[in-house]
Structure 1
Amino acid sequence: MNKVIITGASGFVGKNVFNYLSDHSYLVDSISLRNPNWKLNFKANVIIHLAGKAHDTKNTSNASEYFKVNTDLTKNLFDAFLESEIKNFIYFSSVKAVADDVLEVLYEDIQPSPKTPYGQSKLKAEEYILSKEIPHGKRIFIIRPCMIHGPGNKGNLNLLYNVVKKRIPYPLAAFDNHRSFLGIDNLNFMIREILLNEEIPSGVYNFADDEVLSTNELVQIISSVSNKKNLSIAIPKVIINGIAKIGDVIRFPLNSETVQKLTENYRVSNQKIKTAIGIDKLPNTAQDGLEKTIKSFIK
């Protein structure tokens, strides 16, 4: 039986994984953990746990909500998995479960220090899973993806796309950063490889594209795909940081948090999962994935 159960199948990643595995001859079903009878449909080879409360960038969410959804529901699901005949449990955590800032490169063995309720709730779920003895014949995967994107995803990339589309000059070209992304096609590929190869051992795995890109390179890709001239300007950092401090007080779009998000380094190593799969390179480059995402915004 090649059956996969997905939680969170209505979300961006869930829909994509559901359709991709369905197209590759898997029998895919979804369950909602909010339905009190979800355990009635708990027969499969694999459970992919994607349901969760996403990071609220506007910081309006109550911290307890994250723990209720991201920690407690995961515990309930994992306990049910341990008692079931299901062989594989794939939990989608996040790089933010272990690090809000990355000075060098993020590897799986980092000492976790999440600063947000979102990251802390994801880490609590990870710790619970890792604290349990795994029955013989079962595999447990904790996946830590970095920023996921793809056609139909309306995240931060969409905001940057709108800046370019509206011919607003990108003002932060003086900052040079390097960050990892994860295209949905590479994510799907890695999930399927885990399912196909039973020799891949249980463990914690970062998911990221092979290449890192700067925000400046990202703006150039958006400009190029959109057929717009790149209007980036390099305003001195000291001036930008001054404007950002004013933005913190008067709620201007360019504030300290925005500047940090657009200019921070966040490099994530994907070497562990590639070694486990037995490949040197993922099938899609970071640029390929980003171009595909940007084209979907234009459509």
Structure 2
Amino acid sequence: MDWVIHAASPAHFIPKTAAEKQSFFDVNVIGTERLLNGLTEIPKIFVYISTVAVYGLEEGEMIKESAPLNADTPYGRSKVEAENIIQDWARENEVKTFIFRLPLVVGENPPGNLSAIAKAIKKKIYFRIGKGENKKSMVLAEDVAYLIPQLEDKKPGIYHLCDPHPSCLSEIDSSIASQYAFKVKTLPDLPITLAAKIGDLIPFFPINSLKVKKLSNTLTFDTGKAISELGWKPNSVLEFLKNNTITS
């Protein structure tokens, strides 16, 4: 066996019950252990798709891979545990291993907040929170897929895979809106904050406090290590958003 690529994980929902919280550990921790123990042949290369949620940060600029792992959600904590399990196994079995911590992943049918923005814009009910000057790291799914087959002669380790030029929220939502001939309007922070508190109490409400916080803060990650050691040359996420219709 030459390669194992492990990308299985629940994501993009806020657990509201003990069972939902446990589901992250069932897949990310127990599932990873079962995968490794079930391999009948040790691979030459192991690739694990992780997340920047392992840092437990809601804001920060150009965070490096050496930052403390202070995840405070079931998703983030279970990903930290999975990373540790994989690294121990890789050392014991001398397997060349790559752990990729991804930020917001972008494609034609993206999950999470980007899909929510596109859906609201399509329905012409989207409003920007404040000026939208906060920046976000993102990565194109196709760039990650393109990189993986090129890893055979690269240095193993933990890497951020991001567009090296983070975009402002105003650039992101305006790019999506241009596909629908929609002009984004801005709302003051207070009405959105109050509406988000309703969403904290009512499932399936369009927004909640966590979503508002994520959309309002700057959170960017340094991808210099991947550029220098892996030859990472990603495409511009903003250009993709300007030229492709995001479905939801």
Instruction: Tell me whether the two structures share a fold, i.e. TM-score over 0.5.
Output: yes
The equivalent of 1:263 in structure 2 is 216
The equivalent of 2:71 in structure 1 is 114
Deviation, structure 1 residue 169: 4.6
For residues 146-182 of structure 1, the C-alpha deviation after alignment (integer angstroms, 9 at most, x for no partner) is: 1112123354322211222222251413342100111
Aligned pair in 2 of structure 1 residues 268, 204: CA closer, same or farther (>3 Å)? Answer: same
The equivalent of 2:239 in structure 1 is 288
* 1:95 counterpart letter in structure 2: V
1:54 and 2:11 correspond: yes
Deviation, structure 1 residue 278: 3.2
1:297 and 2:247 correspond: yes
- Structure having the higher Rg: 1
* 2:212 counterpart letter in structure 1: V
The equivalent of 1:217 in structure 2 is 171
**Is the 2:46–2:97 Cα contact (8 Å) retained in structure 1?**
yes
The equivalent of 1:168 in structure 2 is 125
1:194 and 2:151 correspond: yes
User: Unmatched 5+ residue regions in structure 1?
Assistant: 1-43
Deviates more, 1:163-172 or 1:182-191: 163-172
For residues 57-76 of structure 1, the C-alpha deviation after alignment (integer angstroms, 9 at most, x for no partner) is: 36355322211211112123
Choose the corresponding residue for 2:30, options 57, 60, 72. 72
Bigger relative contact order, structure 1 or 2, given CA contacts below 8 A and separation 6+? 2
Deviation, structure 1 residue 247: 4.9
Deviation, structure 1 residue 250: 6.3
Deviation, structure 1 residue 110: 0.9
Secondary structure at 1:223's aligned position in 2?
Answer: helix
TM-score by length of 2: 0.86
| Identical-residue share of aligned pairs (%) | 27
For residues 166-214 of structure 1, the C-alpha deviation after alignment (integer angstroms, 9 at most, x for no partner) is: 222514133421001111121112212214xx2x222111111222112
**Is the 1:168–1:231 Cα contact (8 Å) retained in structure 2?**
no
The equivalent of 2:188 in structure 1 is 236
* 1:237 counterpart letter in structure 2: D
For residues 119-145 of structure 1, the C-alpha deviation after alignment (integer angstroms, 9 at most, x for no partner) is: 111111111222342444x30111111
TM-score by length of 1: 0.73
Secondary structure at 2:129's aligned position in 1?
Answer: coil
* 1:275 counterpart letter in structure 2: S
**Is the 2:135–2:219 Cα contact (8 Å) retained in structure 1?**
yes
Q: How does 1:76-91 map to 2 (within 5 A)?
A: 76-81=34-39, 84-91=41-48
**Is the 1:70–1:122 Cα contact (8 Å) retained in structure 2?**
yes
1:149 and 2:106 correspond: yes
Aligned-partner Cα distance in 1 for 2:115–2:166: 19
Aligned pair in 2 of structure 1 residues 170, 128: CA closer, same or farther (>3 Å)? Answer: same
The equivalent of 1:11 in structure 2 is none
User: Unmatched 5+ residue regions in structure 2?
Assistant: none
**RMSD value, Cα:** 2.5
The structure richer in strand per residue is 2
Aligned-partner Cα distance in 2 for 1:236–1:261: 16
Secondary structure at 2:245's aligned position in 1?
Answer: helix
Secondary structure at 1:205's aligned position in 2?
Answer: strand
Aligned pair in 2 of structure 1 residues 250, 93: CA closer, same or farther (>3 Å)? Answer: closer
Aligned-partner Cα distance in 1 for 2:4–2:198: 47
Secondary structure at 1:66's aligned position in 2?
Answer: helix
